[in-house]
Structure formats: C-alpha cells, structure tokens
Chain A
C-alpha cells in the first residue's frame, strides 16, 4: 500500500545518495517538483535514467546531483541543446558525468524487460551504427529462425518517480494522455513515488487511462502543478515559453546557478517555486 505523504518526506525516505533513479514522463507529466526536491535535499551520486533528460535532468546535472546518465535523446525539444548536460559531458562541469546512451526503441525495450522481470529486452536495432560500440548492447540469435537481434540489459532502478493526474485516498493512481514509459518504470523499480495533481474520493475511468494500483507504489504525494513547466493533460498546458527561455538561463553557468539558488534552493516547496515563477514573469 502506498503511503500518502508529503513530497519532502517521500524523497527523504525513499531516495538515497548513489541510487539509480528514474524520473519518467515522455514530454507529458514530467515530475519537475520531485526533481527540484532531489536538488533541495542535496542528493548526490545519482544514476539518472530517462529517455529524454529534458530540462528536469539538465537542472539535476547542473546542480551536481548526478554521477551517471542513462538516456536516449538529450535535447531541448524544438529549441536546441541542453546546455548543462553538454557542459557536463564536454567539460565535466560541475562534476564528470558518465553516460550510457541508447535509442528510444532500445530504452523502451529495456523498460519493458525490467517491468517483466526479464534480464534483457530484444529488438531489431543498433546494427550498423556506432552506438553499438559505445553502449551496453549485445547480439543474440533467435533460437527459432536464426535471425540476429539486439539485446539490451533490463532497467531495474532503485526508485521510479512519476507524475499523474489523480489518486484516490487509498493511493490508487490514474494517468491519461501520453503515457510514455511510466507504467514500465514503476513496475521495473524497487521503490516508487507518484506525485499527483489532486486526490479524489473515487477514480473515474478515463479513455486510455493507465491505473497504477496502490499496492505497487510506496508513496503518493499531492503536488498540484508538479509537472510544470511540462504539462498535465486536462489540468494545464506545456509552458513552451519557459522551454524557450531555459536556453538562455542554462547557457551560462552563473545564470544557471543563480536560477537554481533562487528558484529551487531558495524555495521551501513546489508551491513557493510556482509562485515565484509566476511573479517573475
């Protein structure tokens, strides 16, 4: 059964320094509030796992929380580079960052394998690319047809953190819209935290809704706006303007540090963070 707790308690109890942590959410429902809480609590040495590092990992990497990144596409969608990610890979700032990179299809197969309690995922991919020489991939032969296929090691993080639209009072969670790999990440992880927009008496079935039963979760935290500046379908839109503005904030180390000091470390929680963001417009 999931405990309904504050986000700060959930992060303090369930995430340790050095853990492998996956904050998933494919463009939609990115758990920014939880990412900021990891920064506030000064977590260090994390292995961060995510298909698209996005701004949330750019912030964690720039804040020095990560030792390793497992990912498949590290850009600011439609805008350009993730500058903190680039600075860490190109210059080792603020700390060296080990990378293990895959393709989206490879990561998706690795998540599905993790959720299935299998040691590896299998796909047609990687052949003929230089990625194959730089990442954890191996070749296996189909025992039935003889076809050569790529095998990727299953993802089994210590902690998965996702954001969803709602939970009921027992901690059952429902999310809808673009569902990414959140179900796989939660089922593949040893522990899990879900932040939600609201807690309701009873979940109302939604078309394409994904249910995460309370008994596969450890903590459920009510954090309205917890996916901002990404979005929560039915609640608020993606703040595309912030994604564009992040380019200038993150390009410069001092500007980035000032932003984190003021907007993350200088705020008590996500409510205060959002109020400050609103005020700064």
Chain B
C-alpha cells in the first residue's frame, strides 16, 4: 500500500476523535468522510445525524449531499427539518458536531459566508447552513480543515459560527486544541512527518504551541484501507491521496 497522504492522515486523526456510541451531527465533505471512517473502523455504533433529518444513517459510501437517498433508506428515523433543528439539535440530543470551514481564527470561530466585505464580496461562499446552531448546541465540536495562511487568519472576514464549544481542530499538519484559560487554539500534536515550522508558516497568527508537543500515531493499515475504500466509493472525493 502506498504511504498515507497528509489529507488521509488528517481524515484518520479526525475519525479517531469520535467515540463508539456517540451521536454525531455531520457536515458534508471532510467531516462526513471522517465520520463514516470512524463508523467503518472503531465506532460501528456511532450515530450519524445529517441535517436533512436522517437520524442514524448508515451509508455504505460517503454521500455527495446531506440528503442522498441512501441516508433516508438506512436511517433509524427521518424527521422534518424544523423538527431536526428544534427538537434534536436545540433539544441538546447531539454529543458532537463535526464541521468544516473556509476560514478559522485563533478562537475557533468559523467563516463560511464571504471572503471580502459582505456588501461586495470577493468570493461569495455558501453561507451558514446548519453550522451556527451545530456549533452552539452540540456538547462538543470538532473542526476539520486544511491548514493554510488563507484559512488560518488573524481576523475572519465574517463570523458565521462561534467557536466557544470547539474542542479540537484537525488539519493536514496536526491538531490544535483550545487552552483552558483564554480558549486560544494551541498546537498540541503534529502528524508524522509534519514540522512545527510548517504549522507556524501556515497559521496567520503567532501560533501557541503546547509544552509537550505530541506526534499522532501514523494511520494503521486497517484505517487506511477503510478510508481508501470509502473515498473510492464516494461520488466526489473530499481528499487528495
């Protein structure tokens, strides 16, 4: 088997943060791939909740959209969108929210709305979707995105979702976690082969680093095999191999 790419290491590291039996509200793209990887490996009883109203979906491949037919066909229950957001999410029934973003700041606040000004955006992004309420109503929040100076910015162009409940940010370089006092994101672990300099160069603010910087265990063969099987089966690949 070829060596794991940095994207694959990121997906594996994120999947490991989900525990078996947890209830996870899943965003599309990288979060969905990682959540499905967790369910295919160490967390077979992970409950996947998609904002389309499918609770306990068990797709054989990561869906292209949050409402693909296979999610409905394999779900334990299908509820309307108002019920999903009011009873299940706001009702605090979800353990962990799993989000992506275009931009993140040092406090885990997320932008998925615009690059540039709101009135005259340079890039109009899709917008909020379910993210703001996922970020505030799940007991804990995981974020997964590639670490670049354009994504890890000193100041967000727009605050779409508030980062107060972010527990970890998993990137293609390492893992950042908020320190308890100011809740500033701190680099706590590097992926195998990644360097501190690389992490600093790809962060748009002076990056705090934990005193004992850990190294993530490299993907095991069973994890990598499962990930590649899922990525091949997906209609659109969220990761670079």
Binding site for B on A (CB under 8 A): 26-28, 51-52, 71-75, 77-79, 81-82, 85-86, 89-90, 101-105, 108-109, 111-112, 123-131, 134, 177-181, 183-184, 208, 231, 233, 237-238, 240-241, 243-244
Contacts and interface: CB of A to CB of B under 8 A. Distances in A.
A261 B67 CA distance: 30
B65 A105 contact: no
Contacts of A112: 82, 86
A184 B80 contact: yes
A79 B236 CA distance: 7
A129 B161 contact: yes
Nearest to A124: B90
Contacts of A238: 64-65, 68-69
21 contacts: A26-B53, A28-B69, A51-B81, A71-B127, A73-B130, A74-B127, A77-B65, A81-B124, A89-B124, A90-B120, A90-B122, A103-B128, A105-B86, A105-B89, A123-B90, A127-B162, A178-B71, A180-B67, A208-B78, A237-B69, A238-B69
A233 B72 contact: yes
A104 B51 contact: yes
B127 A77 contact: no
A8 to B, nearest CB: 28
Of B63, B86, B137, B162, which is in contact with the most chain A CB atoms at under 10 Å from its CB? B86
Interface string B59-90: 00001111111011100001011101110011
A131 B90 CA distance: 19
Interface residues of B, number: 52
A131 B113 contact: yes
Contacts of A101: 113, 127-128
A208 B73 CA distance: 12
A197 to B, nearest CB: 14
B97 to A, nearest CB: 13
Nearest to B122: A90
Interface in B176-198: none
Contacts of A27: 52, 65-68
B29 interface: yes
B64 A79 contact: yes
Nearest to B156: A130
A129 B82 contact: no
Contacts of B162: 127-129
Contact of A73 (B82, B118, B127, B164): B127
Contact of B82 (A89, A108, A233): A108
A115 to B, nearest CB: 9
B44 interface: no
Nearest to B130: A104
A264 B164 CA distance: 47
B132 A77 contact: no
Nearest to B78: A208
Contact of B160 (A82, A111, A130): A130
B64 A78 contact: yes
Given A73-B127, A130-B113, A89 B69 contact: no
